[in-house]
Amino acid sequence: MNAPTTAQHLMPAIALRDVPAALIDTLKAHFGDRCSTAMAVREHHGRDESAYTTVPPPAAVVFAESTADVAFAVTQAAQYSVPVIPFGIGSSLEGHLLAVQGGISIDVSRMKKVLSINPEDLTVTVQPGVTRKQLNEEIKSTGLFFPIDPGADASIGGMSATRASGTNAVRYGTMRENVLGLEVVTASGEVIRTGTRARKSSAGYDLTRLMVGSEGTLGVITEVTLKLFPLPEAVSAATCSFPSIEAAVHTTIQIIQMGIPIARVELIDQNAVRMVNAYSKVSLPVQPMLLMEFHGSPASVKEQAETVQDISSEFGGQAFEWATTPEDRTRLWTARHNTYFAGLNSRPGCRVISTDTCVPISRLADCLLDSMAEVEASGIPYFLVGHVGDGNFHFGYLIDPDNAQERATAETLNNQLVARALSMDGTCTGEHGIGLHKMEFLLNETGAGAVSMMRTIKKALDPKNIMNPGKIFLD
Amino acid sequence: MNAPTTAQHLMPAIALRDVPAALIDTLKAHFGDRCSTAMAVREHHGRDESAYTTVPPPAAVVFAESTADVAFAVTQAAQYSVPVIPFGIGSSLEGHLLAVQGGISIDVSRMKKVLSINPEDLTVTVQPGVTRKQLNEEIKSTGLFFPIDPGADASIGGMSATRASGTNAVRYGTMRENVLGLEVVTASGEVIRTGTRARKSSAGYDLTRLMVGSEGTLGVITEVTLKLFPLPEAVSAATCSFPSIEAAVHTTIQIIQMGIPIARVELIDQNAVRMVNAYSKVSLPVQPMLLMEFHGSPASVKEQAETVQDISSEFGGQAFEWATTPEDRTRLWTARHNTYFAGLNSRPGCRVISTDTCVPISRLADCLLDSMAEVEASGIPYFLVGHVGDGNFHFGYLIDPDNAQERATAETLNNQLVARALSMDGTCTGEHGIGLHKMEFLLNETGAGAVSMMRTIKKALDPKNIMNPGKIFLD
């Protein structure tokens, strides 16, 4: 018998909780064929994009079409102390969707109505299954857009639950800053509302922010009110190649420290460039590259671009390519957006273990370069991409999922990286969340006192521990 | 006997909790003359800038000089279930500092060290007694600044506890967006840390945001890590007079809807202008006025200013006055910063009851004008100022504190205003907090479900109800 894989090793001991037939019967009676126990459906809902070994899938999947549906399912599950796991589109990278204690999956992907658009207030209210691309499509005529772009066409509910961010966060903030209010089904099946459509408020505890990033462990998000932004009058994108990662990172640091309101500044390393070239049939210079975007008035965009070009040149940046039409910009950004799949494609059968550290900007070069030296030395194939303007970057370790040694090496590399980031006053996760993968890191990062406070809150709001149990905290 | 004043009426029945002599003895033994029971000191700590009738002051005041001091005081108070009320500089407008259930005041104003400045990361870590002006003075040489400006030279601890904002929030956000991390003494006297210095994180529950705005009811803030911003290369300020409040408000709405990155846009009505003219010996045109500030590169500031001037002219704005030197800008802003005291001065012996509603920007004109008609009809003297770019505005009702009828009228006006704001999907408090004054409004705003969740959290984290009890929730 093989040694357990590292992922299995990290996985908390699975103690499946009983899902009584009476609960399934009740759900089937209410939902009809919107409650499925077919194995294929269950299996689809029992995994995500993480590299975890599959655990037994949820006992049933309920397809909710309304808040009342969600409330019904949670109320019934609560009666039997059965875990519920909210499911959007399944793009989690941290094992959020795995039924590690059994239970049922509540799929909200059919709750995909844009409920109200208030262009004059720059707000929109959506159901949780609306994806970010769908949202931007539906509001296109208003002249507004929703900037948060985590790469995947994730659901707004899932993005809220994981406090997602991505490429535009350096200018527009993360889900933390952009969710104004929520409707949430609590652990008892009650429906509550948090926040208003006002831009700011000092009215009591910030329950909105407590729910954003709670990874389904405090409630199921059934409605989200978001900030929108006017589409910039002018947009200009550029790629620039650098002689070294160091040069690209130092360029970024200087852009941020000067306060240039850059909309995007993304790093991809030469491995990623090579993989993208092969996958997308392009021929980008095989060098570290920054992809940048500037938003504003035409004059402001021009000014930003000139300043950034000056800084880049100082650090040896060259082969600037500019794009101002939407089509050309899309082409430039394809490289960045395809990195993940280009990586997967570069080593058939591999899985990606993605790191997610984020450090104060002044430590970015040290953190990144030291960690890169470690992965180079390990021999594990990898790529590197980064929302470097925020100090956030991802190594994608491309491992053979059946090779215990590779898994172990990747976990060791990640452990070293996280320890380094924490020693620099950074975080183990900039945007993916804790899930199953980073519970020990959370403890190291924030200390026993803060984790104990989180547990106290969890216990108070979910005394039966039915809301996505086994995530964030080790039970 | 007079009828009870409205403030007394609104005040929850005072049930003072016992403060045993043994606790005072222990505190005196530890703190020496930094624990005071002198009546003058107690009275100073038992009130704030709100119009509440004084309640009996705290039994003692402890002057903390370190986190350990705070932890000691809380641990001792917890042993006897004695309330503790954190005190910064006393600028609350909502009765936060009143010892409505008795207890002791923990004054953190001597904890005023700037602990670490990290200019290259645009962060700073301070003790809670540091005031915003002190902070900006101490970081001046770095080329960075801390933008949040609530008017008063408030303490950073107090600003965090009330989720304060003010004139720059339209561009730079509120304390919600600008606190990166905290050190907090919990109800059991334990010291915990939340957040890191990374710009973003998805690591577990957002305890930082839970503490920001918790008004001292979940813990005592003993350290705050803040975002800083590069001082803009160019700054330009302007005042512009308008034929009507409506014209000024519609100008603001258009500025926001166009996405112009204005740094400040403040409204003062003609009453406020008249009061400021008398108080500050200036002769501003007695008309509604917008005070604006533009930050950015010279070209961007020029562009913003031109666009805004065009919009203003469309709505009849005139008498534009521009200021670019720091001295001239200070002079322009004096009018805004002195409004509160100019108001107090306009009616000797009066107290200000300040409203704090905030509405989605499209409803700002309706909310403001209808409420203004009501206050005009009431005959209560008032002024109006607003952080109108955020949809937030304050009526200052200038009441005779001994006149029960005036108090009642002011409360009725505020009730009507809040009801109107809530019907427009706004909030009862943009930046002052709930305190003693708005508990019923909170319930109306967010609903019983959310308030019940807040209470559950409070009870779980402070089972003895010693952290600033009687605030936010009706007991």
What's the whole-number mean pLDDT along residues B418-445? 97
What's the whole-number mean pLDDT along residues B100-128? 97
Contact flag A451-B296 (C-beta cutoff 8 Å):
no
Is the pLDDT at B335 greater than 80? The verdict is no
Q: What is the pLDDT of residue B34?
A: 98
Query: How sure is the predictor about A319, in pLDDT bands with cuts at 50, 70 and 90?
Result: confident
Non-local CB neighbours of B66 within 8 Å, separated by 6+ positions: B111
What's the whole-number mean pLDDT along residues A184-199? 98
Q: What is the pLDDT of residue B14?
A: 63
Q: What is the pLDDT of residue A330?
A: 84
Of the partner residues B202, B427, B472, the one whose CB lies closest to the CB of residue A163? B202
Start and end residues for every CATH 3.40.462.40 domain found in chain A: 234-423
Taking contacts as CB-CB distances below 8 angstroms, the residues of chain B near A164 are 202
Start and end residues for every CATH 3.30.43.10 domain found in chain A: 6-107
Beta-carbon count within 10 A of A439 CB: 20
**Which of these CATH numbers, 3.30.70.3450, 3.80.30.20, 3.40.50.2030, 3.40.50.300, describes B232-335?**
3.30.70.3450
Taking contacts as CB-CB distances below 8 angstroms, the residues of chain B near A363 are 121
In sequence order, the β-bridge partners of residue A434 are none
Q: What is the pTM of this model?
A: 0.96
The model's pLDDT over B35-68, given as tens digits with 9 standing for 90+, comes to 999 999 999 999 998 877 678 999 999 999 999 9
Instruction: Report d(CA B106, CA B39) in Å as an integer.
Output: 15
Instruction: Report d(CA B105, CA B97) in Å as an integer.
Output: 8
Strand, coil or helix: B267: strand
Instruction: Report d(CA B156, CA B359) in Å as an integer.
Output: 26
Query: How sure is the predictor about A6, in pLDDT bands with cuts at 50, 70 and 90?
Result: very low
In sequence order, the β-bridge partners of residue B106 are B62, B86
Is the pLDDT at B12 greater than 60? The verdict is no
**Which of these CATH numbers, 3.40.50.2000, 3.30.70.260, 3.30.43.10, 3.30.70.2190, describes A6-107?**
3.30.43.10
Rounded to a whole number of angstroms, the CA Rg of chain B reads 22
Q: How far is B409 from chain A (nearest CA, A)?
A: 23
The model's pLDDT over B63-101, given as tens digits with 9 standing for 90+, comes to 999 999 999 999 999 999 999 999 999 999 999 999 999
How would CATH label the architecture of A234-423? 3-Layer(aba) Sandwich (3.40)
Beta-carbon count within 10 A of A113 CB: 15
Chain B interface mutation, best of A142, A199, A208, highest count of B Cβ atoms under 10 Å: A199
Start and end residues for every CATH 3.30.465.10 domain found in chain B: 114-230
What's the whole-number mean pLDDT along residues A11-21? 80
Instruction: Report d(CA B421, CA A12) in Å as an integer.
Output: 49
Is there a contact between A225 and A182 (Cβ–Cβ < 8 Å)? yes
Query: How sure is the predictor about B328, in pLDDT bands with cuts at 50, 70 and 90?
Result: confident
Instruction: Report d(CA A428, CA A108) in Å as an integer.
Output: 29
Tokens representing residue B178 in the block: 């600008």
Strand, coil or helix: A176: helix
Is the pLDDT at A234 greater than 70? The verdict is yes
Is there a contact between A376 and A406 (Cβ–Cβ < 8 Å)? no
User: Is the CA virtual torsion A151, A152, A153, A158 positive or negative?
Assistant: negative
Tokens representing residue B215 in the block: 């008004």
Q: Which among B195, B194, B200 has a CA at the least distance from the CA of A361?
A: B200
Helices A67-79 and A21-31, interaxial angle, to 10°? 160
Q: What is the pLDDT of residue A1?
A: 31
The model's pLDDT over A363-383, given as tens digits with 9 standing for 90+, comes to 999 999 999 999 999 999 999
Q: What is the pLDDT of residue B326?
A: 86
User: Is the CA virtual torsion B160, B166, B169, B172 positive or negative?
Assistant: negative
The model's pLDDT over A36-74, given as tens digits with 9 standing for 90+, comes to 999 999 999 999 988 776 789 999 999 999 999 999 999
Find residues 360-389 of chain B whose CB sits inside 8 Å of chain A.
360-363
Of the partner residues A229, A303, A356, the one whose CB lies closest to the CB of residue B300? A303
Contact flag A201-B359 (C-beta cutoff 8 Å):
no
Of the partner residues B186, B360, B433, the one whose CB lies closest to the CB of residue A197? B360
Higher local confidence (pLDDT), B267 or A475 = B267
Is the pLDDT at B238 greater than 80? The verdict is yes
Cβ of residue B327 closer than 8 Å to a chain A Cβ: no
Is there a contact between A467 and A188 (Cβ–Cβ < 8 Å)? no
Q: What is the pLDDT of residue B1?
A: 31
Query: How sure is the predictor about A142, in pLDDT bands with cuts at 50, 70 and 90?
Result: very high
Q: What is the CATH number of domain A114-230?
A: 3.30.465.10
Query: How sure is the predictor about B118, in pLDDT bands with cuts at 50, 70 and 90?
Result: very high
Contact flag B213-A194 (C-beta cutoff 8 Å):
no
Start and end residues for every CATH 3.30.70.3450 domain found in chain B: 232-335
Query: How sure is the predictor about A462, in pLDDT bands with cuts at 50, 70 and 90?
Result: very high
Is there a contact between A170 and A392 (Cβ–Cβ < 8 Å)? no
- % residues pLDDT > 70 (chain A): 97
Contact flag A361-B120 (C-beta cutoff 8 Å):
yes
Contact flag A431-B202 (C-beta cutoff 8 Å):
yes
Tokens representing residue B202 in the block: 């998805």
Residue type, A85: I
Is there a contact between A15 and A101 (Cβ–Cβ < 8 Å)? yes
What's the whole-number mean pLDDT along residues A304-315? 96
